[in-house]
Chains A and B, each alone.
Chain A
Amino acid sequence: MSEIVVTHVPHKRSIPFGQEAVGALSIIALGAIGYFLYPDDLAFLTRLIGIAFLVLSLDLVTGYCGVATLGHAAQFGVGAYAAGIACVRGITDPVALLAVGVFAGTIMGLISGALITRFRGLPQLVLSIAVGQLVAALANKLSWLTGGSDGLSGITPGKVFGIFNFDMYSRTAFLFSLGVLVIVFVLLQRFVRSPFGLMCRGIKDDDLRARMIGVSIYPRLVVMYGVAGAVAGIGGALTAISTGVVGLDSVSFERSAEVLVMLVLGGAGHLWGALAGTVIFMIFEHIVAAANPFHWMTLVGLLLILIVVFAPRGLIEPVLSLASRFKRKGEAA
């Protein structure tokens, strides 16, 4: 683990904002491929981006802080419901709805963080499930507000910046989501390499040692949870805006478990790992479900087993070690 932390310390001679530029350009390039090569699949790709925010958010608490959680969909769902309810009640500007989602997600993140990070290990896991279930039960019970099991429908957001309408082909929704993803990703790249982010890694690697050098762990984890909540809230709000409905699935246990699988698949503790996991899992699922809508789940299970057996620390790990080997070779020469 310590080796990775070192690679995240900025080099002296590096170009300022180099990593961020690379990150932004890579996502834009991937987005452009999606937009131009698969113009018929933008609805799916938009959904993928929405989930990617949730996986990134989970990465912040699980990958960077070592918090085990199976209730992370709560933040996503609260963001989605908040944005959806705001839209139904008259706020239709997509950017404002996004802000609503961020706000609700942050609050939810702080609350669950305050509860969950008090404990470690199994109690923590159990508590995270409890928080997730509590939110799910509330979403079902408060049907006058959330639509209950029928889902919250009738969300019709206005035009983006007053110009671009949300259309059936999801062009606007896709570009809007992609733009938000680029901004959030760049900010997160900075954030995880900030002293705060590095300290969270330190806490994850050895919390006793962190305590010994005078770090108070609990408030840091709560703040991190708040940030994660904001990121998940963005994902929720984007999903609500682009699909026009919010259902109980967005706060369900299955959603929480699924994103954990995606994160482990890509590699926890790396932002790129979170993205890669989401993209690979969802595209694979999409293709096999289209090819065989009756037995596709078996194939997804098979993929997961294969990856856990051959790349137990996520798909990003072998890529990173390859990259660092090249780097070392270059430095030696």
Chain B
Amino acid sequence: MNKGAQSILALAILGLMTGTASADVIKVGVIGTFSGPYALFGKNFKMGIDAWVAQNGNKVGNHTVEFVYKDEEGPNPAKSKALAQELLVKDKVQYLAGIYFTPNALAVAPLLEESKTPLIVMNAATSAIVEKSPYIVRTSFTMWQNTVPAAKVAFKNGAKKVAIAVSDYGPGIDAEAAFKKTFEGEGGAVVEAVRIPLATTDFSPIMQRIKDSGADTIFTFLPSGPPTLGFVKAYLDNGLKAGGVKLMSTGDVVTEPDLPNIGDPGIGILSTYHYSVSHDSKENAAFLAELKKGGASLDEVTMTSVAAYDGARLIYKMIEATDGKRDPAKAVDAVKDMKWISPRGPVSIDPATRHIRQNVYVRSVAKVDGKLINKEEQTFADQPDWALSTK
């Protein structure tokens, strides 16, 4: 034991002593899910940032930019806050970025003003996050942003009675509220609203309930992963599709890595989302080519890689505007109202909310060249976060 303790202590000392900053290196701390069930999305953070660095080099002016990665693991706010503190105090990072889960972002927010550090949120999608500090900018999406167009399309497609089925947690409840408000505002009726516990894998009883409610369309949101696949399978197997009940969802339910598992019966499922891997533009083609060059498999690409890629763009712009000095107000001002063409389409940062404005696409699952993709059919241009701004 004594030897063991010694070596562990030695390891500890070694580990804690590394990591001092030199003068002209600007460090960016990236907190993401790099292990556990959500590891794919953390990996996409890194893929996106690596792609940006590969295209633009690791220097802004004469400042070298260095990214430091920390594993947030899961929704664990206490850990995320400690990680952010460690990045700020020990690694002396000038920018924070990443963050997959909302509670983790909320935990980090109070540190920003005291430490004068901007935070680029690359996923966490609850609307209120950007209101927690003036130094937060978000490059991902919110539930409201993606759901409002879904409700409009459903109504336009002739839906009269909708059943809503969402996961029983923050974003799910956001999605339910957004859909209900918009759809009823248009003149439709919500006949059933089911909140499904996160760990559910058998959706047959829920399908039965939806069938009984007499709904002609289902709207659903579940976080991407095993449950989404189960939900779509249950929808197909229980004869709802055959019975003419339509399925409308946010893109989380039909992510590209899941499509091969859903298979041909899924063709025609509608969803609204801000990014499809198959988005047809030269920016997206270049982005995907860069990811591939970096060793990534295109079957793994998710929305977090684009959010990270655009986030890295903002960080470079901030470093350029402040010339490497710690000036969060100036840095955030420099990216407010910034406009550019992202791999997902034209985007801009809303100066009022510091949240990204972007196109939301209506897509349907289609088979192109033997491969299932989300084919973009209609575009809702320049969508804000509907919960924060009314414009």
Contacts and interface: CB of A to CB of B under 8 A. Distances in A.
B16 A47 contact: no
Interface in B1-32: 1, 4-5, 8, 11-12, 15-16
A290 B12 CA distance: 11
B204 interface: no
Contacts of B111: 168
Given A245-B77, A290-B15, A296 B71 contact: yes
A41 B77 contact: no
Nearest to A148: B170
Interface stretch (A88-96, A116-124, A204-212, A280-288): A280-288
A38 B71 contact: no
B78 A243 contact: yes
B77 A43 contact: no
A319 B89 CA distance: 36
Interface in B54-80: 69-71, 74-79
A50 interface: yes
Contacts of B369: none
Contacts of B169: 140, 148-149
Taking residues whose C-beta sits less than 8 angstroms from the other chain, chain B's interface range is 35 or more
A246 B90 contact: no
Nearest to A141: B168
B115 A40 contact: no
B88 A168 contact: yes
Contacts of A243: 77-78, 81-82, 107
B36 to A, nearest CB: 7
Given A140-B168, A287-B12, A293-B70, A43 B106 contact: no
A286 B90 CA distance: 14
B387 to A, nearest CB: 13
A32 to B, nearest CB: 16
A34 to B, nearest CB: 10
A245 B103 contact: yes
Contacts of A44: 82, 85-86
B1 A290 contact: no
Given A40-B86, A293-B35, A296-B35, A249 B168 contact: no
Residue among A150, A167, A245, A289 with the most chain B CB within 10 A? A150
A287 B107 contact: no
B103 A280 contact: no
A50 B78 contact: yes
Those 4 A-B pairs whose CB atoms lie nearest each other, nearest first: A151-B103, A43-B85, A40-B90, A149-B169
30 contacts: A40-B90, A42-B89, A44-B85, A140-B169, A149-B103, A149-B169, A149-B170, A150-B103, A150-B170, A151-B107, A153-B77, A153-B103, A168-B111, A239-B78, A243-B107, A245-B78, A245-B81, A247-B78, A247-B107, A249-B74, A249-B78, A280-B8, A283-B8, A283-B12, A293-B35, A294-B35, A296-B35, A297-B35, A315-B4, A318-B1
Given A41-B16, A149-B171, A247-B103, 14 more contacts: A43-B81, A143-B173, A149-B75, A150-B170, A245-B77, A245-B78, A246-B77, A283-B12, A286-B15, A289-B70, A291-B15, A294-B39, A311-B1, A315-B4
